[in-house]
Amino acid sequence: MKALALSLALFSLLTTDVWAKNCRNSQPCGNSCISWNKTCRIGISSYVAPTPTIRTPSPTTSHETAVASDLYVQDNDTYSVNSPNHTARRLRRMAFGEMVRAYQQVGDWIRISEPGQPDEWITRQSLTLSKPPHSPAQSEKPPLKYELSEPKDVIAWSHAQTDAAFTYALPSRTAPRLRRLVLGEKLPVYELMGDWARITPAGADEEWVIRRYLGI
């Protein structure tokens, strides 16, 4: 037993001497020695975890929405324009109750032209989801502001041919506008002056209309 213990102690001493002799001025690294200013990489994994890629979703524009539905014009004085703003060029007058297809919404504007076609826009407040039953201009005729004079003072009777015309305080386009005509409105004519017709009797506030809008 003592002989076995002595043998083990001697083996340990010899092993230590070998390392001390071989790596006296350096550091052990596996089965060899390396300089102290180097790093032993034996037993150290060289795997480097890849940096994860974070995909940021593309931002969406909150004021622009794709839509596809049928709407109806609910205003008698609505025009389509070539871009979604109030200073854009007018394209055409929309008919009351006209059905349009909405393809895109930008803010308060609806694009009613098909993809690939020239832009045509209309304001959202001019449209409704259900077809309006009748035209306000045709059903709500304003009351006359004066009593009609005797028939002898009326030289002709006429009917408004459009609801896009105005009456004026004088027979001139530069005169102040007074009101918009109602389509089909029956009007007396008291005086003709060139291209103009006076529709108010003598003594009342003058109202003039361009004759062609009265069909005379």
Identify the CA nearest to 67 among candidates 21, 33, 25, 115. 115
The predicted structure's pLDDT at residue 86: 83
User: Are 122 and 142 within one domain?
Assistant: no
The answer to whether residue 50 sits within a structural domain is: no
The answer to whether residue 32 sits within a structural domain is: no
User: Are 118 and 153 within one domain?
Assistant: no
User: Are 124 and 146 within one domain?
Assistant: no
Determine contact, residues 61/104, Cβ cutoff 8 Å.
no
What's the CATH code of the domain at 190?
A: 2.30.30
Q: What is the DSSP letter of 138?
A: H
User: Are 161 and 179 within one domain?
Assistant: yes
Flag whether pLDDT at 103 surpasses 60.
yes
Q: How far is CA 72 from the centre of its chain?
A: 19
Number of domains in the chain: 2
Digit-coded pLDDT (tens) for 5-20: 555 555 554 444 444 4
The answer to whether residue 40 sits within a structural domain is: no
User: Are 79 and 100 within one domain?
Assistant: yes
User: Are 102 and 151 within one domain?
Assistant: no
Amino acid at 62: S
User: Are 157 and 111 within one domain?
Assistant: no
Domain C-terminal end among 109, 128, 147: 128
What is the Cα–Cα distance from 112 to 122, expressed in whole angstroms? 7
The answer to whether residue 11 sits within a structural domain is: no
Domain C-terminal end among 108, 128, 148: 128
The answer to whether residue 92 sits within a structural domain is: yes
- Average pLDDT of the segment spanning 30-44: 73
Residue 193: band (very low, low, confident or very high) from pLDDT cuts 50, 70, 90: very high
What is the Cα–Cα distance from 123 to 32, expressed in whole angstroms? 84
The answer to whether residue 151 sits within a structural domain is: yes
pTM (two decimals): 0.36
Domain C-terminal end among 97, 128, 159: 128
What's the CATH code of the domain at 116?
A: 2.30.30.40
User: Are 149 and 98 within one domain?
Assistant: no
Flag whether pLDDT at 158 surpasses 50.
yes
Determine contact, residues 166/180, Cβ cutoff 8 Å.
yes
The predicted structure's pLDDT at residue 6: 57
User: Are 99 and 118 within one domain?
Assistant: yes
Annotate 42-80 with three-state secondary structure.
CCCCCCCCCCCCCCCCCCCCCCEEEEEEEEEECCCCCEE
- Average pLDDT of the segment spanning 41-68: 53
User: Are 147 and 196 within one domain?
Assistant: yes
User: Are 72 and 123 within one domain?
Assistant: yes
The predicted structure's pLDDT at residue 21: 44
User: Are 142 and 176 within one domain?
Assistant: yes
Residue 208: band (very low, low, confident or very high) from pLDDT cuts 50, 70, 90: very high
The answer to whether residue 91 sits within a structural domain is: yes
* Residue 98, domain extent: 64-128
Residue spans of beta strands (DSSP E) within the chain: 27-29, 32-34, 64-73, 79-81, 90-93, 99-106, 109-111, 121-123, 127-128, 156-159, 166-168, 177-180, 186-189, 191-193, 196-198, 208-210
Pairing of strands 156-159, 186-189: antiparallel
